Amino acid sequence: MWRLGENLTEELEINKSFTKEPNADWIDEADENNDIINGKSVALDGENLRGDGLYLSVERNTKNWSTQLEYTKIYPLYQTPLGFATQNNLESIELEQGYQHFFKEEAFLKQMNFSLETEFRFNYQGLKKYSSINAGAYVQFSGNVESFASTLTYSMKSLKALMLEDWTILNYLFDLILQKKFS
C-alpha cells in the first residue's frame, strides 16, 4: 500500500500460483467438451497448473467525501494451495462514492452518510456475469439512535446453469443502542 499525498492511497497485489494436482478419483472424469480450461482438465490427474492474480485499488478520502476504485483479475488456472481464492476466471471492477456529514455536537442530528456503489464482473472471455448497484443512507441521532436504509439491485447471468436473473433487495434498519456509564 502506498500513500500518495494527504488524501490518496494505492494498493497493488500481484500473485502467481504454481500448483501440481494430486492423482485422485474423487472428482469425476472431465467432459471433453466442457471441462477443459486452457488445455487442462478439471479432473485430478497430476497436471501442473500455473495462474496469475492481480488486484489494484485506488482510494481518495477527504473530510466529507470518499471514493474507491478496485480492479481484480484472476486467471482461469490461478489456484491457492489452501483454497482461499474461492473463484477464479474472473475480472471485476468496483466503484464506490460516499459522502459523510458531521453536525455540531449539541445538535439532534449527529451524522449523515450517503453512498453509491457499483460492481461489474466478467469471465475470462469477457462475458458479463454479474453487475450490481447499491445505494445507501445512514443517519445517527442524539441518544444513540441510528437508522440505515439501502437498496441493492443485482443482475446475474450464467449460460451453463441457464440462470438469467435480476432482483432488487431493500433493507431498512432502526437501531437504539442503550449504554450505561461505568465509573
Query: Domain coordinates of the chain in residue numbers?
Result: 1-75, 89-183
Return the closest-CA partner of residue 44 out of 32, 61, 27: 27
Q: What pTM does this model have?
A: 0.72
Q: Give the CA angle between residues 76, 78, 82 to the nearest 5°.
A: 135
Q: Which amino acid is at 22?
A: P
Could you give the CA distance from residue 155 to residue 59 in angstroms, rounded to a whole number? Answer: 26
Burial of 89 per CB tally in 10 Å (0-12, 13-18, 19+) = middle
Chain segment 10-57, per-residue pLDDT in tens = 999 998 888 888 777 766 655 555 566 676 777 777 788 888 999 999
CA-based diameter of the chain, in Å? 71
Chain segment 103-113, per-residue pLDDT in tens = 998 899 999 99
